[in-house]
């Protein structure tokens, strides 16, 4: 049986060590953090793992992070050296994975450069975004919801709306779905406004307690009943740092989309072999996902699906 090779994302770090600093000169200097069997490990690789961009750990925390990161890279380098000795670089699957990782790193680096060159002040946009989204800030609320997520064809969503409109509570809707053998899940959650997709937040904000609303999903519908909500407003001063991060991220997405579109327009792209049938133009645009997912970068799941 052919052996499968599982290549974790951390392999990119080891790959970088092998490609970028694989020399054995004497006198390592301050640019290097360690040498493993003569193979140098650059200090910048350790620093890249210590803390994410923008973080400012204390001295003690930073030293501990440096030590942990360096030991991880040493372990990876030892494993990578054994892999090279075994000739795994010549294994087609490993070679393809290394090339894919290299391509991904280079693509990310180019987008970073393009996004940096196209950056600009977004301070003037913060106030406008704050004013244009009262449900997120001045009128921000915490919503307690009961949700039924139904897996159903799109043509059935209209029937689900009618059933929800004539029902007094969500359990009646669940019974209606069960009678028609429609798969569904029931859940209860509390979510602040920033964890609700922006395109449906105004509708949720306008719901009365006990009211039921139906939101279409790619594979069915989300039927939501608002149990209660409580006010928890956010001032512009409080919101400004989060809005700035959001607008910066949104701008980076826009720049990336424009750059990919520009490159595709000027490129010669030929689909070969069995992949000729897959010629469907550029990949789906993430613009809709950008608009409908969490607005503020809290990192939690949405209570109401898009």
Indicate the average pLDDT of the chain: 80
Alpha helix ranges (H) inside 190-300:
201-205, 236-266, 287-292
For residues 114 and 293, the model is more confident at 114
Start-to-end CA distance of the chain, whole Å, equals 43
In contact, 141 and 230? CB cutoff 8 Å: yes
pLDDT digits 0-9 by tens, 174-190: 999 999 999 999 999 99
- The span from the CA of 71 to the CA of 200, in Å, is 47
The β-bridge partners of 230 are 142
> Average pLDDT in the 125-139 region?
92
- The span from the CA of 177 to the CA of 167, in Å, is 12
- Burial (CB < 10 A; 0-12, 13-18, 19+), residue 259, is middle
Tokens at 16, concatenated: 């970088």
In contact, 146 and 188? CB cutoff 8 Å: yes
Residue 250 makes CB contacts below 8 A (sequence gap 6+) with 290
pLDDT-derived band at 141 (thresholds 50, 70, 90) equals very high
In contact, 215 and 306? CB cutoff 8 Å: yes
| Rounded alpha-carbon distances, angstroms, from residue 278 to 6, 261, 271, 272, 283 | 28, 19, 8, 10, 11
Tokens at 216, concatenated: 């279409």
> Average pLDDT in the 285-303 region?
41
pLDDT computed for residue 117 by the predictor: 72
- The span from the CA of 130 to the CA of 126, in Å, is 6
pLDDT computed for residue 9 by the predictor: 44
3-state secondary structure of 234: coil
Tokens at 54, concatenated: 């923008």
Alpha carbon 278 to its chain's center: 26
pLDDT computed for residue 6 by the predictor: 42
Catalogue the E-assigned strands of the chain: 32-36, 39-42, 141-151, 184-192, 212-217, 220-231
- Judge whether residue 246 has pLDDT over 80: yes
- Judge whether residue 299 has pLDDT over 60: no
């Amino acid at each position: 049986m052919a052996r499968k090779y599982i290549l974790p994302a951390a392999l990119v770090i080891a790959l970088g060590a092998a490609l970028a600093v694989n020399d054995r000169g004497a006198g390592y200097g301050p640019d290097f953090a360690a040498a493993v069997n003569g193979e140098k490990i650059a200090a910048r690789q350790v620093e890249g793992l210590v803390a994410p961009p923008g973080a400012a750990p204390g001295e003690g925390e930073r030293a501990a992070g440096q030590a942990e990161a360096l030991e991880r890279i040493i372990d990876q380098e030892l494993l990578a050296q054994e892999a090279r000795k075994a000739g795994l670089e010549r294994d087609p699957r490993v070679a393809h994975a290394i090339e894919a990782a290299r391509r991904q790193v280079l693509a990310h680096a180019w987008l970073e450069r393009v996004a940096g060159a196209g950056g600009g002040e977004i301070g003037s946009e913060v106030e406008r975004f704050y004013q244009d989204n009262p449900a997120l800030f001045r009128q921000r609320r915490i919503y307690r919801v009961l949700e039924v997520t139904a897996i159903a064809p799109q043509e059935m969503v209209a029937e689900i709306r009618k059933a929800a409109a004539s029902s007094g509570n969500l359990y009646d809707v669940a019974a209606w779905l069960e009678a028609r053998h429609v798969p569904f899940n029931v859940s209860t959650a509390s979510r602040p406004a920033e964890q609700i997709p922006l395109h449906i937040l105004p509708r949720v904000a306008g719901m009365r307690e006990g009211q039921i609303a139906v939101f279409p999903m790619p594979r069915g519908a989300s039927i939501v009943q608002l149990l209660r909500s409580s006010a928890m407003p956010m001032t512009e001063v409080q919101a400004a740092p989060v809005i700035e991060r959001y607008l910066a991220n949104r701008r980076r997405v826009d720049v990336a989309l424009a750059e990919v579109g520009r490159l595709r327009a000027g490129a010669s792209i030929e689909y070969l072999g069995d992949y000729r049938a897959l010629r469907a133009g550029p990949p789906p645009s993430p613009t809709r996902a950008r608009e409908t997912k969490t607005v503020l970068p809290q990192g939690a799941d949405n209570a109401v699906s898009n």
